[in-house]
Chains A and B, each alone.
Chain A
């Protein structure tokens, strides 16, 4: 078989892997939802492209719209970089099935790197860039300039994709590498946001203008960067193939803490122990917990030391975020980790009810962490104590019951002990996350506008207390509905296990 045919075959297998994922294969609604979300975001980008082309025209002392847009090009590239998490796998993760076949490893790596780097996903930003370029560049400067500018952007996005792949591969080795892109992007954002005038605005504008004029040097420069990043990825990821194929876990754990104080709570205590051990002993679960704590601290520190978030919306958002993030990270995908041993759980009487109750108590206990982290902000008066009380009870009594509804519908098993992979929940779960993050703020604003402070917050707390007081009732309701759907869910858990 020649190289081109082999490339086509591997590419076809890679496409089938996505297309035949159990969650998509059997779920027509999920297919529809994903297509809808794809079109929805495309429409938003299209709309933004047109609005920006028209709105930016002459907005800064008569400067052309594309100059204004290009001045902020780094924002787009930073967004593009972070959006890739969860959507793009590294080549090393895909090469394992071919490791014993008579195909050169270097060939495989080139196939996957080429497909990753030049993926169609890079063109998605075209929904924003093309309408913008047509209105803001093609009309005043002609088609040549428009195509040059778009080509320049395409090359930049490819380079960004390879930079992402490089960082992602490092992060797979150790999560601490997340700090590398975070530090670079954080520094860039600081340089762009802190001074009165963005010092990178002009260099970016001039750089992009030379694409538009078809000057050779920007094309050559970005081409060289792509080649360099391709080479760096190749070297790094070839080493990682062995890690992926031969990954082995430590044979013994150092400390097998027993949490004997929970024994007095009988069966419930056993399930709470299970919750704690699940977080302590599984990389994916542990990391999401630590990332949650890290984000809470980061937002609070930024708010403490700067005035960037000193507005009503951001105050509410950070307060809510602190209370909901730890629960959200596990409850949106509630039961998905348990999918790994669902048959064992289902073989014991009412074990799911006990498990749900343990999850509720454990997550409610975790709500003691945010007031500690947010206390400096309350002390210096940047965040109201009433707001904290409101969101504390609202989270435990309203948002948690909402999130627990996912236990009825979730039926995709998530791996517990891999490093961060692309299996981080499905689209429906991501939508629920978004709703949980923003809907309460609307309610809070309405309540405080109507009732004033602190009554608006006390209203939120009262709603929460009702939910907390009735937790046994609604947990049993969730359990009964779970049991009614058990066959469908168990089938989904089995189908998505190890897929």
Chain B
């Protein structure tokens, strides 16, 4: 599924949060979004997910015979999974109940759900499935895992994750990297990931977009991992 952004602009008062004249995220691409705090990464994701209103411009999802403007229809929600923050989680459910809730909404059978959970048991490290803990009592890292798993549960063609490495322990960060790579390769899903962790972003992304004050200042082909130096220079990591 291709995501086509046209003349997209969002301001909060005087501050320009997003200003992207044109950007196409190709079908099957794993795109990393990087930038300093306030660069507009989360706002861009929220615009793609129709959670905030754009001042101008459109976001289209296109694939096969389908071409939808996300602000005009809800059809894209059937093939899009996302986790941006805790406001995606119903925190008075247990992780199992939440997965089951999402599964039923997305017409995923109980067998498929059990298979999915079994496949990702390692990532969840036995701390989530089968527990009687409500999501609100989980650690930030475990909440993050629940959100990511729920987003992937419907096997979306478009997967959007905001800061997926946050709060996770090193082995879980590694696990999520492999998970995303594998999912992308197996399904050909279009994946958008934002992160402040340059190493992880460079490791998994085939293309990296660098945002500053809402504008795309670099669109880097990272198939050969050549973004590492460019990003390190931009963020002045080696100074």
Contacts and interface: CB of A to CB of B under 8 A. Distances in A.
Contacts of B94: 253, 256
A275 to B, nearest CB: 11
A261 interface: no
Given A252-B132, A487-B52, A487-B53, A343 B88 contact: yes
B26 to A, nearest CB: 23
A341 B77 contact: no
B132 A256 contact: yes
A249 B105 contact: no
B74 A350 contact: yes
Nearest to A254: B132
A349 B77 contact: yes
Nearest to B103: A270
A251 B133 contact: yes
B84 to A, nearest CB: 6
Contacts of A341: 87-91
Given A253-B134, A490-B51, A497-B87, A277 B93 contact: yes
B105 A348 contact: yes
Interface residues of B, number: 33
A344 B90 CA distance: 8
B235 interface: no
Interface string A337-366: 000111110111111000000000000000
What does DSSP make chain B's interface, helix, strand, loop or mixed?
loop
Contact of B101 (A274, A349, A494): A274
Contacts of A421: none
B87 A347 contact: no
B184 interface: no
Contact of B87 (A256, A277, A340): A340
Nearest to A281: B92
Contacts of A497: 87
B217 to A, nearest CB: 27
A282 interface: yes
Contact of A270 (B80, B84, B91, B101): B101
A270 B99 CA distance: 12
Contacts of B169: none
Contacts of B182: none
A250 B134 CA distance: 9
Contact of A348 (B77, B85, B131): B77
Nearest to A249: B137
Interface in B38-55: 49-53
Contacts of A251: 133, 137
A342 B136 CA distance: 16
A343 B77 contact: no
A417 B93 CA distance: 13
A362 to B, nearest CB: 16
A258 B105 CA distance: 16
A490 B71 CA distance: 14
Nearest to B133: A252
The 10 closest A-B pairs by CB, nearest first: A487-B53, A344-B88, A349-B77, A343-B87, A281-B92, A349-B74, A252-B132, A270-B104, A341-B90, A256-B132
Interface of A: 249-254, 256, 258, 263, 266-267, 269-270, 273-274, 277-278, 281-282, 340-344, 346-351, 416-417, 487, 490-491, 494, 497
Interface of B: 49-53, 74-75, 77-78, 80, 82, 84-85, 87-94, 96-97, 101, 104-106, 131-134, 136-137
Given A253-B134, A254-B132, A341-B91, 11 more contacts: A251-B133, A252-B133, A266-B104, A340-B87, A341-B87, A343-B51, A344-B87, A346-B50, A350-B74, A491-B52, A494-B87
